[in-house]
């Protein structure tokens, strides 16, 4: 009898049960922020390895909506670039977590996150960035393909962290051990 109830509960469990409930915002924001930190850290290392200012990428991001004069700016332009990078990382983290299945294992989430980051990179590099920051592409050329690798690292960290947090925030009333609702 109990087995029939478990199977019946599985059959009628709403589709929303496969998504994180209230923890969605926290999971997305934390995952996006961690991915953004990993990405920024790699870009700092890549710039330093080429002999450039380690914070060059943040300065280039700081030219968004402001223009090339921001590249010559001081701490304000740098802080603006870092805040814009953090906000964008969090926003894309929220979107990713909204589509991430809750039962996806960490390796699958990392692979999905990396693919997601490459998709986002394609959209941003071809449609968004050229219109809001025309100097960005030229500013990032000296570090070569490092910014592509940085996006892949963002996606990997995003997926791993989101999967980790998803396992800590189960659906209320849902038991992973039995796969049923109470």
CA distance 50 to 17: 48
Q: What is the pLDDT of residues 89-146, one digit of tens each?
A: 999 999 999 998 878 899 999 999 999 999 999 999 899 988 888 888 888 877 888 9
pLDDT score at 44: 92
pLDDT score at 63: 83
Q: What is the pLDDT of residues 112-126, one digit of tens each?
A: 999 999 999 999 989
Does residue 76 form part of some domain?
yes
SS3 181: strand
Helix (H) or strand (E) holding 155: helix 146-168
Does residue 6 form part of some domain?
no
**Residue 173 token pair:** 């009333």
SS3 21: coil
pLDDT score at 21: 53
Q: Tokens 């109470």 sit at which residue?
A: 182
Specify the number of domains making up the chain.
Answer: 1
SS3 63: coil
Q: Quick one: average pLDDT of 51-63?
A: 86
Does residue 14 form part of some domain?
no
CB 151 within 8 Å of CB 38: no
SS3 137: helix
CB 114 within 8 Å of CB 173: no
CB 162 within 8 Å of CB 100: yes
* DSSP β-bridge partners for residue 174: 181
Does residue 161 form part of some domain?
yes
Please check the confidence at residue 9 and state whether its pLDDT lies above 60: no
Does residue 96 form part of some domain?
yes
Does residue 20 form part of some domain?
no
Does residue 4 form part of some domain?
no
- Listed range (8-12, 21-25, 28-32) with the worst mean pLDDT: 8-12
CB 77 within 8 Å of CB 66: yes
What share of the chain has pLDDT > 70, as a percent?
80
Q: Quick one: average pLDDT of 45-49?
A: 92
**How much is the pTM?**
0.78
pLDDT score at 155: 97
**Residue 140 token pair:** 């990032």
Average pLDDT of every residue of the chain:
82
Does residue 17 form part of some domain?
no
Count of Cβ atoms closer than 10 Å to residue 122 Cβ: 11
The domain in which residue 131 lies consists of 25-170
């Amino acid at each position: 009898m109990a087995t029939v109830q478990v199977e019946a509960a599985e059959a009628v469990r709403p589709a929303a049960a496969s998504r994180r409930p209230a923890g969605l915002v926290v999971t997305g924001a934390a995952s996006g922020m961690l991915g953004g930190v990993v990405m920024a850290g790699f870009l700092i290392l890549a710039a330093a390895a080429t002999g450039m200012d380690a914070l060059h990428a943040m300065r280039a991001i700081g030219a968004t909506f402001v223009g090339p004069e921001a590249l010559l700016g001081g701490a304000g332009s740098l802080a603006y670039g870092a805040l814009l990078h953090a906000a964008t990382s969090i926003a894309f983290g929220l979107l990713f977590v909204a589509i991430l299945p809750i039962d996806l294992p960490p390796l699958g989430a990392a692979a999905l996150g990396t693919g997601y980051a490459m998709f986002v990179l394609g959209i941003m590099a071809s449609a968004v960035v050229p219109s809001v920051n025309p100097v960005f592409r030229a500013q990032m050329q000296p570090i070569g393909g490092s910014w592509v690798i940085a996006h892949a690292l963002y996606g990997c960290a995003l997926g791993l962290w989101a999967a980790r947090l998803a396992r800590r925030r189960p659906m209320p009333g849902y038991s992973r051990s039995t796969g049923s609702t109470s």
